Amino acid sequence: MDTTVLDVDMHRRRIGDLTDDVARFCAGRGDGLCSVFAPHATAGLGLMELGSGSEGDLADALQRLLPRDRRYRHAHGSPGHGADHLLPVLVSPSLVLPVLAGRVALGTWQRIVLVDTNLDNRRRHVRLSFVAG
């Protein structure tokens, strides 16, 4: 298994596009599976269309589901930080993607995204692992 770690700057954004980084990691590797894992208690990974307004829709949906206020028992950090710790239950911290002939087999509009509502952490790490088929 080959692996690498991406250092992702999430300053001033809630959604980071990892698609090109994952594609570069998988290029030339043949068939297999690519595991994408965010080892954080307050971030998750997803597949979504970008650039069509979906980012704002996702931010709005997460705000409705996980309001940023002081209702949470987990109460350290910025106001509403307890919500950040619930995010990985809704947005998984991992994905496993098929790779065919060195290309991640995504749908036409699918992009690989890191979702991070935590304002207290700006730098994130995402582990990519390739298992040959």
The pLDDT tens digits of the residues spanning 11-35 come to 888 899 999 999 999 999 999 999 9
| This prediction's pTM | 0.93
Average pLDDT over residues 85-91: 93
Would you place residue 81 in the very low, low, confident or very high pLDDT band (cuts 50, 70, 90)? confident
CA distance 3 to 118: 26
CA distance 11 to 17: 13
pLDDT at 119: 77
Domain 2-132 fold is: Jelly Rolls (2.60.120)
Query: Which two structure tokens, joined as six digits, stand for 39?
Result: 């080892």
In this structure, are residues 130 and 88 in contact, taking their beta carbons and an 8 Å threshold? no
Would you place residue 52 in the very low, low, confident or very high pLDDT band (cuts 50, 70, 90)? very high
The domain ranges of the chain are: 2-132
